[in-house]
DNA sequence: ATTATTTGACCAACA
DNA sequence: TTGTTGGTCAAATAA
């Protein structure tokens, strides 16, 4: 099951990304709180670009990667290179969904139909969540292109229902790594945040990762505080993504 | 039977 | 103090 998300990988979204780019993407950071339920990871919920003491968080604007490529790193307990790596992959992930949503209707619709039938076999689930803010559209795409295995544990509408945020956790037992994928109503991934870092190396079986995307072994080292991606240059794990 | 996903509900932090 | 927003949990469902 968790492998089928690769389906998204076959799209080249290039034009899509620009459609809805919140001008405030930079400021659009989460300033909320970190529930204790998660323990340490919760603290990292600050995806803000502001350097705090929280775990490193990498946020990539999908529209950006293609055009602007904004990646924000927030200092935290986790971080380092692994995340940078992820951000690279992220870029790929980010780009794909666009096309599916915009162009590939057959597949997208098909998937949506299936999903919808799950909860509301009878109704098309057109009705938006009233207050909860749960995303109206659910897509089976899992941004696991970074080489890690993620499991989606939540989804919500944020920013006035303007964006849908999906919450992913690393499937590893002791791994606190989390990922937040923000998508516009159009289905375009507009932002991806990496919270905390993986306590384990990437699974070997990640064919999705291109050799170019693979980061040097040092990048994969969990304990490399030297990376401190706070500097403007460091923010971009891959300068390709961060043109800013 | 197992695993992953979806989504409503609850809780916490901030304005 | 209240309202809003965000994050996570847990139950239900599907593959």
Token code pair at residue A82: 């692994």
In a domain, residue A224? The reply is: no
**What is the span of the domain harbouring residue A176?**
150-195
- Position A242 in a domain: no
Q: Kindly state whether residue A167 falls inside one of the protein's structural domains.
A: yes
pLDDT by position in tens, chain A (length 244): 433 333 333 333 333 333 333 333 333 333 333 333 333 333 333 333 333 334 444 555 444 433 333 444 444 333 344 444 344 444 444 444 333 333 333 333 443 343 333 433 333 333 333 344 444 444 444 445 677 888 999 998 887 777 889 999 888 877 888 889 888 877 788 888 888 777 777 776 544 444 333 333 333 333 333 333 333 333 333 333 333 3
Q: What is the pLDDT of residue A202?
A: 73
Has residue A126 been placed in a domain? Answer: no
Residue A131 forms part of a structural domain: no
The residues, ordered by sequence, that sit 6+ positions from A195 with a Cβ below 8 Å of its Cβ are A41, A44, A45, A47, A55, A57, A76, A78, A177, A178, A179, A180
- Residues by CB within 7 A of strand C: list them: A 1, 30, 32-35, 37-38, 41-42, 45, 47, 114, 117-119, 121, 131-133, 153-160, 165, 167, 169, 178, 180, 195
Q: What pLDDT does residue A145 have?
A: 64
Do the domain assignments include residue A228? no
Smallest CA–C1' separation from A114: which nucleotide?
Answer: C14
**Looking at the 3D structure of chain A, how many domains does it have?**
1
Protein residue closest to B2, using CA and C1': A1
Residue A103 lies in a domain: no
User: How many residues in total does chain A contain?
Assistant: 244
A206: in domain = no
- pTM for the predicted model, two decimal places: 0.54
Tokens matching residue A148? 């890690």
The Cα-based distances of A163 to A18, A27, A78, A230 in angstroms read 15, 14, 26, 26
Q: From the C1' of C4, which residue's alpha carbon is nearest? A: A160
Residue A160 CA, nucleotide C3 C1', distance (Å): 14
């Amino acid at each position: 099951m968790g492998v089928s998300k690769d389906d998204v990988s076959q799209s080249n979204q290039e034009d899509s990304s620009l459609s809805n780019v919140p001008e405030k993407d930079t400021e659009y950071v989460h300033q909320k709180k970190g529930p204790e339920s998660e323990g340490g990871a919760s603290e990292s919920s600050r995806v803000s670009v502001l350097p705090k003491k929280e775990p490193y968080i990498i946020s990539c604007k999908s529209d950006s990667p293609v055009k602007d490529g904004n990646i924000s790193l927030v200092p935290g307990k986790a971080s380092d290179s692994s995340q940078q790596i992820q951000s690279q992959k992220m870029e790929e992930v980010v780009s794909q969904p666009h096309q599916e949503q915009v162009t590939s209707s057959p597949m997208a619709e098909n998937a949506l139909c299936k999903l919808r039938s799950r909860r509301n076999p009878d109704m098309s689930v057109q009705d938006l969540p009233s207050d909860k803010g749960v995303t109206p559209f659910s897509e089976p795409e899992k941004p696991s292109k970074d080489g890690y295995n993620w499991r989606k544990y939540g989804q919500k509408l944020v920013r006035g229902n303007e964006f849908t945020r999906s919450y992913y956790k690393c499937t590893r037992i002791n791994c606190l790594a989390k990922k937040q994928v923000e998508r516009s109503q159009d289905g375009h991934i507009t932002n991806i945040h990496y919270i905390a870092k993986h306590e384990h190396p990437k699974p070997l079986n990640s064919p999705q990762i291109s050799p170019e995307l693979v980061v040097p072994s040092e990048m994969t080292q969990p304990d490399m505080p030297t990376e401190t991606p706070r500097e403007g240059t460091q923010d971009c794990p891959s300068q390709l993504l961060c043109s800013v």
